Amino acid sequence: MVLTSRGEHVSDPEKLSSIAIEKAVGNRLVIGTSGFGSVGYPKTMPKYLAEEAASKGVKVSILTGASAYAMDGIFAEKRVAIRRYPYQNNPVMRKLINEGIVEFMDYHLGEWPFLIRYGWLDEVVEGIDLAIVEAAQVLNDGFVPTGSVGAITAFVEKARHVIVEVNRDVSEEMNGIHDIYIPQPGEPIPLRNVEDRIGSPIVKLPKGKLLGVVESSGIDVGGKPVEPGNVEKAIAENLLQFFQKEVGKGRLPENLYPLESGVGAVNDAVFKAVGEAGFKGLKAWTEVIQDSLLNMYLEGKMDALSATSLMLSPRNLERVYQEAEEIKRSIVLRPQDITNNIELIRRLRVIAINTAVEVDILGNVNSTHILGKNMINGIGGSGDFSRGAFLSIFITPSIRKDGKISTVVPLVTHVDTVDHDVDVIVTDQGYCDLRGLSLRERARLIIEKCSHPIYKDQLWKYYENAVKSGGHSPFDLEKAYSFHLNYIRNGDMRE
């Protein structure tokens, strides 16, 4: 039974936004919303809330599961946002963050719901006033999420009030694809296989919290399908060579172990190439299902997929609706504290494949910052997966901006993943298996196998000078950021 048909709750978004703003404490409103991978975020209430907040001088702190592109833009453009956690990808919001106008802190997405539940942010945001969630269907005791789960359960649990948006453009066939399970402190999560279901198909709504139900519309569109270019094809070929070597040595089975794919065009293109390489019986335990993964499933190359978000093109989303009964048998959407749970990642022996902004010759990875200071989007789940993975792999082109930037540098300007959690680096030039190597051995291998030829001599020169100064780590304090300083001064990292 759908609550909106009963007329028992406020359904006017303008009136609801006024009620919500009136409940703000000290001209500060803290909202937690659905949304992950810019999928499943609220479409109606943000506009009304931002306008009402701007007119009343109320400032808004925004918490999501991860990115919510259009919603972030609304609050940023109205200049009412003062805080944003834990991951974003909107250029206007990003600009305000890098200017220090919006306070931002990056968090591992697997830990994020835990931090909410245990009140770790309460000293700063003083609790969550309002949860706004998107639903495909609202029932008497809860609701069916749309294309993502994210941190919905934590926000609904901790918020003082809840508003549900029923998106009429989302098929009710989504009912049954979700597996909502809330981890209990100190208790093991009873999940053994990618396709296992251990929870409920709906998110339960605590009694007395529902402030209103409104209608919304809008189809979430993932990244556009990407045809692999020469660089992506080279990265994929090098990754496949590594997999084939591991299978040949008996360290990986022929169908590999469950795969995790970071978000982005490079990862999507690489997985498309993996799907064309002849591997069958694959499974994915990941954050986001992009087109490449779904296509592999529909083509019979992938047996099961588990994620927290469907980040698909409109064509593939329509296929999910049309083939829902079949898809629900093998594709599961879960809360992010399950998909990104380190213990599960390790127990399922996940192979994590994430994208780096830059890597250094010691094996450290920067995934989030430009020149050490400007935030791009956030670490997302790459930290969760790299720390727990059976194999932690980072991929990146060897150069960017027509060779003006080398992605292999003496020292990264911001460390997101430390060398201890990086097993393999893959570029279009080759791959480096870093397992068992000392820092000096790592440096020599990364320079030789992964750096671009136009930077190789420059990297060797740095390494040789660093070794002369002695020490376990090949490190030159005066020259560690020479590549980046060259770029700041000359617009090119080359000497």
Q: Which residues are catalytic?
A: 287
Residues 196 and 353: their CA atoms lie apart, in Å, by 23
Phi–psi pair at 166, nearest 5 degrees: -95, 110
Q: Please, are residues 339 and 187 in contact by the beta-carbon 8 Å criterion?
A: no
Instruction: Give the side-chain half-sphere CA count within 13 A for 492.
Output: 9
CB atoms within 10 A of CB 245: 13
In angstroms, the Cα distances linking 31 to 43, 47, 110, 161, 297 are 14, 13, 20, 10, 36
Q: Please, are residues 104 and 87 in contact by the beta-carbon 8 Å criterion?
A: no
Q: Please, are residues 42 and 216 in contact by the beta-carbon 8 Å criterion?
A: yes
- Which of 487, 465, 218 lies closest to 361, judged by CA? 465
Residues 364 and 160: their CA atoms lie apart, in Å, by 42
Residues 345 and 389: their CA atoms lie apart, in Å, by 6
